[in-house]
Amino acid sequence: MRLAAVHHAGAAHIGLVAADGETIALLPPGLGTLDDAVRGGPPALDALAAAAMGAPACPLAEVTLTAPLRHFNRDILATGWNYWDHFDESLGKREGQDPKSRPTRPTFFGKGPGTVIGPYDDIAFDPDLSMKWDYEAEVAIVIGKDGRSIPEETALDHVFGYCVANDVSQRDLQRAHGGQWLKGKSVDATMPLGPWITTADEIADPYALRVQCEVNGKLLQDASTGQVAFRFERLIAELSLGMTLRAGDVVLTGTPSGIGNARDPQIFLADGDVVVTRVDRLGELRNRVARTVLT
């Protein structure tokens, strides 16, 4: 299923997006939110499937899609350097923060949940806060079952589904705080997420997904999840080692090469830019960069 958070005619619904991507079934508001469904496990999914049988459908273009999740257990759990071509493209460009060699274990950091915006919302941009706003297309994993110290062999059993994210980063802030990435990754209203959650059963091979990012119609990132340095099972196993992952947690799986900071000349986002982030089988985000007072 492709499950969306929807506003239509003044009401909030869970929506079930049709296979053709053209229509959406609006489920009764009494079923709760998509956050509730993720935490509700298989019984909640069964209830959604049953409700969809008689639910009214309308064109997808006539509803407003919001961020699929809004109530987070903690920070967004994010992965750095998870495509070797991305790790290598930035060598010597990290302003003194280069590691001495490729990491042998995944690199993790947190993003404040206030970063999350919907699939078509504006990305906040304040040049007084930062002059280096960078794009990063990613696949996001939504955890659907609690677990601690999860073995790699069963890690994907804990995945509710997948969606698209763009880990928009402020590179100068990222470098300014002792090598810790939190500040340069947690500016409010800067991380598009969506456009819906595609349940795990729809994705037979999570390593055959094409990840792309366009800025103003120019393709700047284009890769396959088959290129990841650490597979999704490994990310879940390492994150959960001694730390319980809970249903509703979101895990970003890293961005491929092509980021603006690593280019020559560099490319950074500016007011009015249009950023399109897509992952085949998972959908597309389309966001305008809009000047916003954040300071």
249: phi then psi, degrees, rounded to nearest 5: -65, 145
Q: Which of 21, 42, 66 is the last residue of a domain?
A: 66
Query: 89 with 27, same domain?
Result: no
Query: 31 with 108, same domain?
Result: no
| pLDDT tens readout for residues 5-28 | 999 989 999 999 998 889 999 999
Q: Which of 66, 91, 111 is the last residue of a domain?
A: 66
Query: 84 with 57, same domain?
Result: no
Identify whether 71 is part of a domain. no
| pLDDT tens readout for residues 118-177 | 999 999 999 999 999 999 999 999 999 999 999 999 999 999 999 999 999 999 998 888
Query: 15 with 131, same domain?
Result: no
Q: Region of 184 please: left (phi>0), alpha (psi -120 to 50) or beta.
A: alpha
Query: 37 with 107, same domain?
Result: no
Identify whether 199 is part of a domain. yes
Residue 247 pLDDT > 80: yes
Tokens of 284: 């597309």
| pLDDT tens readout for residues 92-109 | 777 767 787 899 999 999
Query: 268 with 128, same domain?
Result: yes
For residues 53 and 268, what is the distance between their CA atoms, to the nearest angstrom? 46
> Which range of residues forms the domain containing residue 40?
2-66
Query: 146 with 262, same domain?
Result: yes
Residue 191 pLDDT > 80: yes
Q: What is the pLDDT of residue 123?
A: 98
| pLDDT tens readout for residues 35-74 | 999 999 999 999 999 999 989 899 999 999 999 999 999 9
Residue 286 pLDDT > 80: yes
The number of folded domains in the chain is 2
Query: 157 with 238, same domain?
Result: yes
Identify whether 22 is part of a domain. yes
Residue carrying the six token digits 């804990």? 158
Query: 86 with 217, same domain?
Result: yes
Query: 279 with 217, same domain?
Result: yes
The mean per-residue pLDDT over the stretch 82-99 comes to 84
Mean pLDDT score of the chain: 95
Query: 47 with 123, same domain?
Result: no
For residues 197 and 201, what is the distance between their CA atoms, to the nearest angstrom? 11
For residues 87 and 97, what is the distance between their CA atoms, to the nearest angstrom? 12
Query: 13 with 139, same domain?
Result: no
- For the ranges 93-97, 219-223, 269-273, which has the lowest average pLDDT? 93-97
Residue 4 pLDDT > 90: yes
In percent, how much of the chain has pLDDT > 70? 100
Q: What is the pLDDT of residue 242?
A: 98
CATH of residue 193: 3.90.850.10
The mean per-residue pLDDT over the stretch 249-255 comes to 98
Q: Which of 17, 33, 66 is the last residue of a domain?
A: 66
For residues 143 and 235, what is the distance between their CA atoms, to the nearest angstrom? 12
